[in-house]
């Protein structure tokens, strides 16, 4: 692939990443406002992990008071905000690549922040899930409130990918240092 096509592809990926960020946040909010979008049993099944697990636990999101729904949106968005941060750094990385900055320290830093954000996303999902379960069931009678906690195989895969991305970022940073040294000799 020539340099011009690689730059165009990187620019497109930057745009796709931005669209993914927006779609993810809008869809998470929409699932809380229009629960039929997220339910896998009788809806479209378009929800994200925390919202999906709450709906699959039997909570009738449509019956929640407005303030509880808003709290659900906020709590389920906290992990997504960490992921948004990582995706934004991925977008910046693609923009650097579109400018031909392949071995820059900025590119390595952006990639490292993607890895850290993915790890933080997994951690925040683990922490926010029990809070969200308690939040949406707080008005239920004694014995019907619930506390959920899960750590599924996709979480392990995400953590492994985060670690791989962090190692690759470190390698890219080292490559940028070598490239910088080589440019001073030429």
Angle at 99 between CA 94 and CA 105, to 5 degrees: 70
Q: Are 94 and 20 in contact (CB under 8 A)?
A: no
Q: In the prediction, which pLDDT does 43 show?
A: 58
The yes-or-no verdict on residue 53 having pLDDT over 90 is: no
Q: In the prediction, which pLDDT does 186 show?
A: 56
- Flag the least confident range among 1-10, 19-28, 166-175: 1-10
H and E: helices and strands count for the chain: 5, 0
For residue range 56-82, list pLDDT tens digits in order: 777 788 888 999 999 999 999 999 999
> Mean pLDDT over residues 24-42, rounded?
80
Instruction: Spell out the domain ranges in the chain.
Output: 3-185
Residue 20 has which token pair?
A: 């993914």
């Amino acid at each position: 692939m020539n340099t011009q096509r690689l730059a165009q592809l990187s620019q497109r990926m930057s745009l796709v990443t931005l669209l993914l960020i927006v779609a993810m946040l809008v869809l998470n909010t929409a699932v809380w406002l229009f629960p039929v979008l997220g339910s896998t049993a009788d809806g479209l099944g378009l929800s994200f992990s925390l919202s999906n697990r709450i709906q699959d636990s039997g909570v009738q999101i449509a019956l929640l008071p407005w303030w509880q729904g808003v709290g659900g949106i906020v709590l389920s968005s906290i992990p997504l905000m960490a992921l948004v941060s990582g995706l934004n750094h991925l977008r910046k990385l693609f923009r650097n690549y579109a400018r031909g900055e392949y071995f820059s320290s900025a590119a390595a830093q952006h990639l490292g922040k993607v890895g850290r954000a993915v790890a933080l996303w997994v951690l925040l999902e683990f922490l926010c899930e029990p809070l969200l379960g308690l939040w949406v069931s707080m008005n239920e009678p004694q014995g019907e409130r619930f506390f959920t906690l899960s750590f599924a195989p996709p979480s392990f895969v995400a953590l492994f990918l985060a670690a791989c991305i962090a190692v690759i970022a470190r390698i890219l940073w080292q490559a940028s240092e070598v490239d910088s040294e080589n440019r001073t000799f030429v």
